[in-house]
Amino acid sequence: MVLTGAEIVIRCLQEEKVEYVFGYPGGAVLYLYDALFQQEEVRHVLVRHEQAAVHAADGYARSTQKVGVALVTSGPGATNAVTGIATAYCDSIPLVIISGQVPTAAIGQDAFQEVDTVGITRPCVKHNFLVRDVRDIASTIKKAFYLAKTGRPGPVLVDIPKDITIAKCDFEYPKEISMRSYNPVVRGHQGQIKKAVQLLLEAKRPMIYTGGGVVLADAAEQLTRLTRLLGYPVTNTLMGLGGYPASDRQFLGMPGMHGTYEANMSMHYCDVLLAVGARFDDRVIGNPAHFAEEPRKIIHVDIDPSSISKRVKVDVPIVGDVKEVLDEMIRQLEAGAARPNADHLATWWKQIEEWRGRNCMAYKNSDEIIKPQFVVQKLWEVTGGNAIVTSDVGQHQMWAAQYYHFEQPRRWLNSGGLGTMGVGLPYAMGAQLAHPDTHVACITGEASIQMNIQELSTCKQFRLPIKICNLNNRYLGMVRQWQQIFHGARYSESYMDSLPDFAKLAASYGHVGIRVDRPCDVEDALREAFVKHKNELVFLDFQVDQTENVYPMVQGGKGLTEMILSAEDL
């Protein structure tokens, strides 16, 4: 069947079973929009800024296991998308971004709305393509989806010049794709897995450290089985939360800069560390030299060889997919008779319980002023721990991670690697569209929310009943905290002046806005939002304690055992 390039693009999206495309039109993509208009399978979500289009596609991908899709025009459309692309790249999220480009003949002529999109995005995509021939569109899009979701996932951009969308050719969607230069290793090396299991069984002070890779591989079930089989303590990074049920006794909370005392002490003093789909980020292990001082054997499972032995020397590297490798570990354990030494394990757990006894997440609540931690705790109670929670970046993000206890994967969406303020609302949009019957809450700050506040309009158009919980401390709180601790309390440009009345602002977009000033009103306001206004977007503007800081804390450059547990330690 002979189709135009534009029609072929949309047909490809249909073939990939794409439900939603998040985008924004412009001159270079007019033919694509025309083709979209003439069909119904692929629905388009018109955002109010291209950055939000990519974030929303990203939120859609994080909350499902599908590839998120965004569509933007050339020039400013593409440059606006860059922050979204980089954000997805840093957290290994599968996306396909289609960008319009000026006609082939105009490329390199400094044409109107021409930028070198492939060049600009090269360092922040898994791969990108410039399509130069209409006959290449179908195979390129097929490759883009394949690359985005296999191996270590990531965003893939396809740049399509306008004339290519007009040109015609015969359409056939390739069924299979293979690339001689791209063959990710999925099955782990048997011998290495055997060595790892052996080492795990001999451990006296074992620790399981897992990350985003478990979520990306959809391997929460395998992780839970393995961890229970062994009886070992487990921690999830910020990206891995929900990979193991937070309510379980073996779960020690999150490690790292704002992680728990027990998780960090166990990471540091274990003798065998099983790292699974986690990349020893500096926010997790603190100072690598300090981390290396304590002798321990490290097993590292990751699909990307370059994540292994990058920051920390690894003893047993296993390149492969988390799901496959954990399945094989479970199989070997169950087939063998050997079990962990119960005495060693009991002694180790006794030590861990002592650390846990420090109760590092305790905070002083107040009757007078709303504590941000209290809001998150109440949100958890009111939603029964079952909401999809998105967050922006800052103190509120850490409180969300610390006090909302995730039982399942893909319920916690945030920007860990790039730390992009402004993701919260678009992530919630993508998640709500993918899960229309699930509560979606966006925990944000008065500064972050303003980075993509225009999306309140999109939420109205698509009737997305998101509940925005603004922990309004009138400060760039995370910046203020660092200035207080490291810069002699000189609060340079961290006060958020001239804030809007968020409740009224939400109302002007046609949503419900509620301002909450007193601790005693927090729970009622949340219930009102989730019950009475179940089907509406509610903007809850919580006026919280301006001076609250996030604890525990490992200061930059310090070791994991050198934690500040509360303000008294300062």
Partner 1 sequence: MRHVISLLIENESGALSRVSGLFSARGYNIESLTVAPTEDASMSRMTIVTSGSDEIIEQITKQLNKLVEVVKVVDISEAAHIERELMLIKVRATGKDREEVKRTADIFRARIIDVTDASYVVELTGNQAKLDAFVGAIDPALILETVRSGVCGVGRGDRVLKL
Ligand X SMILES: Cc1ncc(C[n+]2csc(CCOP(=O)(O)OP(=O)(O)O)c2C)c(N)n1
- Contacts to ligand FAD by CB under 6 A: 91-92, 152, 211-213, 216-217, 237-240, 254-259, 277-279, 281, 283-284, 302-304, 307, 321-322, 393, 397, 416-417, 419, 478
94-115 core/surface letters (b: 16 or more CB in 10 A; e: else): bbbbbbbbbbbebeeeebebbb
- Asked whether position 285 contacts partner 1 by CB under 8 A, the answer is no
Residue 393 contacts ligand X per CB under 6 A: yes
User: Taking Cα atoms as reference points, which of 306, 312, 257 lies closest to residue 280?
Assistant: 312
| Binding letters toward ligand X, positions 412-431, x by CB under 6 A | -------xxx----------
- Burial (Cβ within 10 Å: 0-12, 13-18, ≥19) of residue 183: exposed
Q: Which is nearer to ligand FAD, 90 or 369 (CB)?
A: 90
Q: Which two tokens stand for residue 284?
A: 């997790």
Kind and range of the H or E element at 467? strand 467-472
Shortest CA distance to 41 belongs to which of 14, 21, 63, 65? Answer: 14
Residue 446 touches which of ligand X, ligand FAD, partner 1, none (Cβ within 5-8 Å per kind): ligand X
Q: How far apart are CA 215 and CA 408, in angstroms?
A: 9
Q: DSSP assignment of 198-211, as one string?
A: HHHHH-SSEEEEE-
Residues that bind Mg ion (CB under 5 A): 445-446, 473, 475, 477
Q: Which of 391, 404, 390, 377 is nearest to 523 (CA)?
A: 377
Query: Which entry of ligand X, partner 1, Mg ion, none binds 127, CB below 5 to 8 A by partner kind?
Result: partner 1
413 phi, psi to nearest 5 deg: -120, 115
In sequence order, which ranges of 150-255 are alpha helices (DSSP H)? 162-166, 190-202, 212-216, 220-230
Residue 275 interacts with partner 1 (CB under 8 A)?
no
Identify the DSSP state of 446: T
Q: Does 306 bind partner 1 (CB under 8 A)?
A: yes
Closer residue to ligand FAD, CB minimum distance, 132 or 283: 283
- Decide if residue 162 touches partner 1 (CB under 8 A): no
Q: Which is nearer to Mg ion, 31 or 399 (CB)?
A: 399
478 is catalytic: yes
Q: Which does 130 bind (CB under 5 to 8 A by kind): Mg ion, ligand FAD, partner 1, none?
A: partner 1
135 binds partner 1 (CB under 8 A): no
What phi and psi, each to the nearest 5 degrees, are found at residue 475? -140, 155
- Would you call 50 a catalytic residue per the annotation? yes
Asked if residues 406 and 391 have their Cβ atoms less than 8 Å apart, the reply is no
Candidates 37, 38, 112, 532; catalytic one: 112
CA separation for the pair 185, 307 (Å, rounded): 14
- Return the one option of partner 1, ligand FAD, ligand X, none that residue 256 interacts with (CB less than 5 to 8 A, by type): ligand FAD
Where does this chain touch partner 1 (CB under 8 A) — which range of 120-128, 162-170, 209-217, 385-393? 120-128
Which listed option, ligand FAD, partner 1, Mg ion, none, makes contact with residue 445 (CB within 5 to 8 Å by class)? Mg ion
Is 37 tagged catalytic?
no
Minimum distance between the CB of residue 449 and Mg ion, rounded to whole angstroms? 9
**Smaller CB distance to ligand X: residue 57 or 544?**
544
Please check whether residue 512 is in contact with residue 532, taking contact to mean a CB–CB distance below 8 angstroms.
Answer: no
Q: How far is the CB of 514 from partner 1 (least distance, A)?
A: 46
Backbone angles phi, psi at 181, to 5 degrees: -95, 0
Cα gap 426→442, rounded to integer Å = 9
**Residue 9 contact, options Mg ion, ligand X, partner 1, none, Cβ 5-8 Å cut-off depending on partner type:** none
Q: How far is the CB of 372 from ligand FAD (least distance, A)?
A: 14
Q: What are the φ and ψ backbone dihedral angles of 366, each rounded to 5 degrees?
A: -140, 150
Give 432 or 481: the residue with its C-beta nearer to ligand FAD.
Answer: 481
CB of 415 to ligand X, least distance (A): 8
65 to each of 11, 95, 152, 261, 438, how far by Cα in Å?
A: 21, 11, 13, 32, 16
Structure tokens at 109: 């002529």
Q: What track of x and - describes contact with ligand X for positions 444 through 483 (by CB under 6 A)?
A: -xxxx----------------------x-x-xxxxx----
Rule CB under 8 A: is residue 178 a binding residue for partner 1? no
The answer to whether 286 and 280 have CB atoms below 8 angstroms apart is: no
- 164-172, 310-318, 390-398, 404-412 -> range binding ligand X (CB under 6 A): 390-398
Span of 60-68, 123-131, 206-214, 518-526 interacting with partner 1 by CB under 8 A: 123-131
CA–chain centroid gap for 179, Å, is 28
Minimum Å gap between C-beta 18 and ligand FAD is: 22
Stretch that binds ligand X, among 67-75, 203-211, 212-220, 439-447 (CB under 6 A): 439-447
d(CA 4, CA 10): 10
Catalogue the active-site residues. 50, 112-113, 162, 478
> Where along the sequence are the contacts to ligand X (CB under 6 A)?
392-396, 419-421, 445-448, 471, 473, 475-479
Question: Which residues contact partner 1 (rule: CB under 8 A)?
Answer: 118-119, 122-123, 126-127, 130, 147, 179-182, 304-306, 309-310
